[in-house]
């Protein structure tokens, strides 16, 4: 075998990698940090509630002061799920957009349920309907995820491949 020499005369510029995180607008980044904190606190609150501490949990119009109720477990699970979604978005995971869709659609569903059906079954006397302001952020969140989905997936190939 002959010795082969490779001569390097020109180096190709290394492109600066664009971050998936940069696709997120400032308001989503703000809520990502909020829900990262709540996601970490959710299991802690659940454990404290099991040891008898009184906690007030409230999200999407569902609220409870009983940390051992089914509603408390549901709300704690929702906060934890939102924390996992926030973690995925912040750390630029491949599955983050999918969980973001699920989070937004689940949140919209709960808000619609709380607005239209829950007043009839919550046990409070009288009729009350409330419009959930969370919807004003859930729909734009869903639309923004749809808008960045293609670029998010494109960046997966260049940053991880």
Q: What is the pLDDT of residues 113-137, one digit of tens each?
A: 888 877 777 666 666 667 778 889 9
Within a domain: residue 15? no
Q: What's the whole-model pTM score?
A: 0.79
Q: CA-CA distance, 75 to 70, in Å (whole number)?
A: 9
When pLDDT is averaged across residues 20-42 and rounded to a whole number, the result is 94
Flag whether pLDDT at 11 surpasses 80.
Answer: no
When pLDDT is averaged across residues 138-155 and rounded to a whole number, the result is 94
Within a domain: residue 41? yes
Phi–psi pair at 19, nearest 5 degrees = -95, 140
Within a domain: residue 111? yes
pLDDT in tens, 32-52: 999 999 999 998 988 888 888
Within a domain: residue 4? no
- Distances from the Cα of 135 to the Cαs of 56, 72, 80, 86, 156, in angstroms? 22, 22, 20, 18, 30
Domain hosting 141: range is: 25-149
pLDDT in tens, 65-76: 888 889 889 999
Within a domain: residue 10? no
Flag whether pLDDT at 158 surpasses 70.
Answer: no
Within a domain: residue 9? no
Flag whether pLDDT at 14 surpasses 50.
Answer: no
Within a domain: residue 93? yes
How confident is the prediction for the chain on average, in pLDDT?
84
Q: CA-CA distance, 107 to 101, in Å (whole number)?
A: 10
Read off the tokens for 35: 């829900």
* Residue spans of alpha helices (H) in 91-134: 96-116, 118-121
Task: Return the percentage of the chain with pLDDT > 70, whole number.
Answer: 81
- With both helix axes pointing from N to C terminus, report the angle between 135-160 and 26-50 in degrees, rounded to the nearest 10: 100
pLDDT in tens, 79-120: 999 999 999 999 999 999 999 999 999 999 998 888 887 777
Local structure of residue 140 (DSSP, 8 states) = H
Within a domain: residue 29? yes
Name the β-bridge partners of 62: 59
- Of the pLDDT bands very low, low, confident and very high (cuts 50, 70, 90), residue 157 is low
| Residue pointed to by tokens 């020499």 | 5
Domain count, the chain: 1
pLDDT of residue 127: 63
Q: CA-CA distance, 119 to 130, in Å (whole number)?
A: 9
């Amino acid at each position: 075998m002959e010795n082969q020499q490779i001569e390097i005369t020109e180096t190709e510029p290394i492109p600066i990698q664009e971050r998936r995180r940069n696709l997120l607008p400032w308001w989503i980044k703000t809520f990502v940090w909020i829900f990262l904190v709540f996601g970490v606190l959710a299991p802690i609150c659940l454990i404290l509630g099991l040891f008898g501490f009184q906690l007030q949990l409230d999200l999407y119009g569902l609220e409870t002061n009983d940390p051992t109720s089914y509603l408390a477990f549901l709300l704690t699970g929702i906060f934890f799920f939102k924390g996992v979604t926030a973690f995925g978005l912040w750390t630029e995971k491949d599955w983050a957009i999918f969980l973001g869709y699920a989070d937004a659609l689940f949140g919209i569903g709960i808000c619609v349920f709380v607005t239209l059906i829950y007043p009839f079954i919550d046990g409070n006397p009288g009729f009350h309907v409330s419009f959930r302001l969370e919807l004003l952020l859930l729909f734009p969140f869903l639309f923004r995820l749809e808008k960045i989905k293609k670029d998010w997936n494109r960046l997966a190939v260049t940053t991880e491949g």
